[in-house]
Amino acid sequence: MKKILSHILTPVYYIVFGLLLAIFHPIQVIGWKIWGYPGQKRAVEILNLLIIRSLIILGSIPKFRGFEKLPEGKPLIIVSNHQSQYDIPPVVWGFRKHYPKFISKIELGKGIPSISYNLRKGGSALIDRKNRSQAIKEIIKLGRQIEANNYSACIFPEGTRSKDGKVKKFKVGGIETLLKTSPSAVVVPFAINGNHLLQRTGFPMGVGEKLTYTVLSPIERENRTAEEITFLCEQAIKHALGQA
């Protein structure tokens, strides 16, 4: 029965998802032209909230946990595991008060309604994975931006999505650069659980999956190397997912 439902509901969800991206693209553009970044940001927040709520079509109601642990008035380095393309909306919505920015591959900066526009206008770092120098410069710029404005930067240090949900080894490079360029930032591990079940193969999507997005206790930076902080983030997320 669940398999039949997934084949019926997946096209419905994809239509709704596509319509949201198409509708909110011009809304973002108008928001930017009239109110600048605040207007565009608000449009992005509403878009991502609607994307999250539309998961009810698939019988999933995501749960957000631990956001009361976030400090006020400080930049954040959000270190998250990566399970699917649906990892972005919970970060955008959950961390909305902290102005989240992303480290994203440069290819996503064009051609995708709403998403590409937000990556370009919202201050995210678009990196060319084949050009190390360019990638480092973009991450440095992002680190300085969050430090100067008390924004947040989200990084997925696995590098690629984990299709089975098992956390891959975290890479230290991007985290190390953010730590150096944002010395006052608080390091926050963020555990995403269940998103890989939504999109095992793209079609059909998972139905009735349990989805949780959890802010874990911040990692103390003092007297710790970037390697140690990265390892502690990885272990904290694995433990939260029952993989440690």
Question: Considering only CA atoms, which of 149, 145, 148 is closest in space to residue 124?
Answer: 145
Q: pLDDT by residue (tens digit) across 42-78?
A: 999 999 999 999 999 999 999 999 999 999 999 999 9
Question: Considering only CA atoms, which of 155, 188, 179 is closest in space to residue 82?
Answer: 155
Q: pLDDT by residue (tens digit) across 95-112?
A: 999 999 999 999 999 999
Q: What pTM value is reported for the model?
A: 0.94
Look at residue 163 in the predicted model and tell me its pLDDT: 87
Per-domain residue ranges of the chain: 2-240
**What would the CATH number be for the domain defined by 2-240?**
3.40.1130.10
Give the C-alpha separation, 145 to 41, whole Å.
16
Range of lowest pLDDT (26-30, 57-61, 107-111, 197-201): 197-201
Which residue spans within 8-131 are E strands per DSSP?
Answer: 63-65, 76-80, 100-105, 125-127
Phi-psi region of 225 (alpha: psi -120 to 50; beta: other; left: phi over 0): beta
